[in-house]
Amino acid sequence: MRRWLINVALLCAKEFRSLLCDKVLIALIVFAFTGGVLAVADGVKVEVSNATVAFIDHDHSTLSNRLRDAILQPYFKPPVLTNTQQAEDGMDKGDYIFAIDIPPNFERDVLAGREPSLQIRVDATAMTQAGLGTVYLTEIFYREIKAAIPLSSVTSALPFQIDSRIYFNPNTESYPFMSVMQIVTNITMLSIILVGAAVIREKEHGTIEHLLVLPVSPSEIAMAKIIANGWAIFIASMLSLWLVVHLWLGVQLSGSILLFAVCTLLYLFSVTALGIMLATVAPTMPQFGLLVVPVYAVAYLLSGAATPVENMPTSIQHAVYFLPTTQFVNIAQAILYRGAGFDAITQPLVIIIAAGILFLAFALIRFRSMLTSQS
């Protein structure tokens, strides 16, 4: 066992030197955990932001002006006062996402209790903006009408009042969620690519023959690649979480960073083992790249980082339950957003460890077969 640990340590040192000499991979890691995280956090928004609005006012009353003035930034751009034809042409060209049409005598009918209707036309090709924006506009108009006419039928028709309490992200902003999920995504992607590329590089450069003449076993070679590349990604991800997400973007991390770090190490063990397994299946770098793309795409789309698992079909929900990517996303959200402790993440951790052992066992079988064919 002592000899095994020494060999693994020496091979890890070789892997670290090989990684540090590859400036392209180092640049990829640095960008992924800095500029990549910032670009996604600031550029990808799931909430309504700067939505364009056309406002058609046939009433020209105090109430209609009040409704128009209540549409404020940063959710919406200042409404453009226009007519029906110009609004329709603008929506056809994509200039407007929303077109609000206030009918004639709207204020008079509201005061008389006739319950008039106003029209909101929506360009649903802007999917996120359209869905949430309609809810926002409805809430804005209800609030303004209620404030302007407290005793109208609009308020008396509702025998209750909604009191919403938003936990963990009170401002419902997307950047706290997107930044952390981008780190999780980068960990998955780079773990598979770095470890797989390390194995393929050994074969393509012919250095695999050098390892074969050394008194080392396939398990020592595989573990060295897992440990060396995993530690590089682990250090980069933890620095990104603290320096970029917490300090630069100002995201409050509710839970224990130490607990999340331990979970990240276990997850890295799982996905790096997957990377070696894929590298033993694909004999060349182009084939490895083509194999990684669908594996990563499926793992990302079904992980819950892009869309909640609860939104998926029931059969898919049962299948993704056993994916380590899905469980790690669950762990990251539970610890960093909700401040969960170890008891809340025990089951996801067991699934990640079990998947890692399965990947590693299959990878070692394939790795021994690959080394045998090289000798």
Reported as a single tens digit per residue, the pLDDT across 231-258 is 999 999 999 999 999 999 988 888 899 9
- Is pLDDT at 374 greater than 80 in this prediction? no
* CATH topology for the 53-156 domain: abc type-2 transporter like fold (3.40.1710)
The rounded distance, in Å, linking the Cα atoms of 299 and 321 is 12
**Residue 187 C-alpha from the chain's centroid:** 12
Residues near 134 by beta carbon (within 8 Å), at least 6 away in sequence? 98, 120, 122
> Residues 87, 56: contact at Cβ < 8 Å?
yes
Q: What angle do CA 89, 90, 95 make, to 5 degrees?
A: 155
Domain limits, the chain:
2-44+174-374, 53-156
119-131 mean pLDDT: 84
Most trustworthy range by pLDDT among 44-48, 83-87, 163-167: 83-87
Q: Is the pTM of this model over 0.85?
A: no
Q: Between the CA atoms of 188, 194, 197 and 202, what dihedral angle is there, to the nearest 10 degrees?
A: -140
Instruction: Please name every residue paired with 57 in a beta bridge, in sequence order, or none if there are none.
Output: 102
> Which residue carries 């070679």 as its tokens?
221
Query: Is 213 within 8 Å of 76 (Cβ atoms)?
Result: no
User: Which residue in the block uniquely carries the two structure tokens 């955990």?
Assistant: 33
Whether the Cβ atoms of residue 37 and residue 244 lie closer than 8 Å to each other: yes
Angle of the 257-281 helix axis to the 218-239 helix axis, nearest 10: 140
Distance CA 76, CA 126 (A): 14
Q: Encode pLDDT of 300-329 as tens digits.
A: 888 888 788 888 888 888 888 889 999 999
For residue 343, give the amino acid letter.
D
Instruction: Provide the token pair at 145.
Output: 């009408």
